[in-house]
């Protein structure tokens, strides 16, 4: 089964699920950061603008801010990744997603579209 994932220039990824977008960190960024050890909690219900920082990550090699890929409202965070930040390194496009965002605007044309088979990104 194929999935369409869009990437920002900063390395966040987005997958559409209707008006809701699941957002995570690219494998390349996860590898560059090293082992992720801490993820701050995003403010649920908060309205964010495209490019605005929404949460912070700490890892063995660096700290990193995750930016809103589009305008929207933060609907939820992945409890599994909060309990086990290492999922960002081991399964960034599967169980390692970070937030769910209800899109209210922003420019999707700046995102790079990639169609991949499930087996290539897990």
Report pLDDT digits (tens) over 46-81: 999 999 999 999 999 999 999 999 999 999 999 999
- Rounded to an integer, what distance in angstroms lies between the CA atom of residue 94 and that of residue 60? 22
pTM given for the model: 0.86
Q: How confident is the model at residue 107 (pLDDT cuts 50, 70, 90)?
A: confident
Alpha-helical segments (H) within the chain: 27-33, 79-83, 87-90, 118-121
| Average pLDDT of span 87-96 | 93
- Computed over every residue of the chain, the mean pLDDT equals 88
In this structure, what are the phi and psi dihedrals at residue 74, rounded to the nearest 5 degrees?
A: -75, 115
Inter-residue contact 69 to 111 (CB < 8 Å): yes
CATH architecture for residues 2-117: Beta Barrel (2.40)
CA distance 17 to 72: 14
Cβ atoms within 10 A of the Cβ of 58, count? 15
Q: Which of 40 and 119 is assigned the larger pLDDT? A: 40
């Amino acid at each position: 089964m194929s999935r369409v994932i869009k990437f920002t220039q900063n390395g966040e990824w987005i997958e559409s699920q209707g008006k809701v977008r699941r957002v995570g960190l690219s494998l390349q960024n996860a590898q560059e950061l090293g082992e992720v050890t801490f993820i701050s909690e995003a403010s649920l219900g908060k309205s964010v603008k495209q490019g605005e920082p929404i949460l912070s990550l700490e890892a063995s090699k660096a700290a990193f801010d995750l930016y809103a890929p589009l305008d929207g409202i933060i609907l939820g965070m992945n409890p599994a990744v909060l309990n086990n930040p290492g999922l960002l390194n081991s399964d960034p496009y599967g169980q390692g997603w970070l937030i769910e965002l209800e899109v209210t605007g922003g420019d999707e044309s700046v995102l790079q579209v990639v169609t991949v088979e499930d087996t290539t990104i897990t």
